[in-house]
């Protein structure tokens, strides 16, 4: 993908509410789009592997898995806290987050370079 309207240049932003306590898989590099979103699967439209991301939940959540690898201990992101992670190369294509409270609103910003 090229710079401009893609995840590499501008990135993508997604905001959504999870209505129940559940695990939700976020797909960054998929042929599916946000039109295919379900309660437990969310797709970013400007698909590519992710190099950096910021998550801003209104309730405490956990990152439990990245690229199919379950973390030994989940990364806990506390209520109304901004969590950012930056990698050297774009490598994340999928992430699983776990909500701890029903009706959790997630704001997520991603970039590829």
Q: Do the domain assignments include residue 43?
A: yes
Q: Do the domain assignments include residue 28?
A: yes
CA angle, residues 72, 58, 105, in degrees to nearest 5: 90
Give residue 112's pLDDT. Answer: 84
The pTM of the whole model exceeds 0.85? yes
Report how far residue 100's alpha carbon sits from residue 58's, in angstroms, rounded to the nearest whole number: 11
* Residue pLDDT, tens place only, 3-36: 445 555 678 899 999 999 999 999 998 899 999 9
The total number of structural domains that make up the chain: 1
Q: Do the domain assignments include residue 22?
A: yes
Q: Do the domain assignments include residue 18?
A: yes
Which residues span the domain enclosing 50?
12-111
The CATH number linked to 73 is: 2.60.120
Q: Do the domain assignments include residue 7?
A: no
């Amino acid at each position: 993908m090229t710079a401009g309207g893609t995840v590499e240049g501008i990135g993508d932003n997604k905001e959504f509410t999870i209505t129940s306590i559940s695990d939700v898989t976020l797909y960054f590099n998929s042929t599916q789009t946000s039109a295919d979103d379900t309660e437990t699967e969310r797709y970013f439209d400007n698909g590519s592997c992710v190099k950096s991301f910021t998550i801003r939940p209104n309730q405490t959540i956990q990152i439990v898995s990245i690229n199919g690898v379950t973390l030994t201990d989940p990364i806990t992101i506390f209520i109304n806290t901004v969590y950012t992670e930056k990698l050297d190369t774009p490598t994340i294509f999928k992430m699983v987050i776990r909500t701890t409270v029903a009706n959790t609103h997630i704001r997520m910003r991603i970039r590829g370079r």
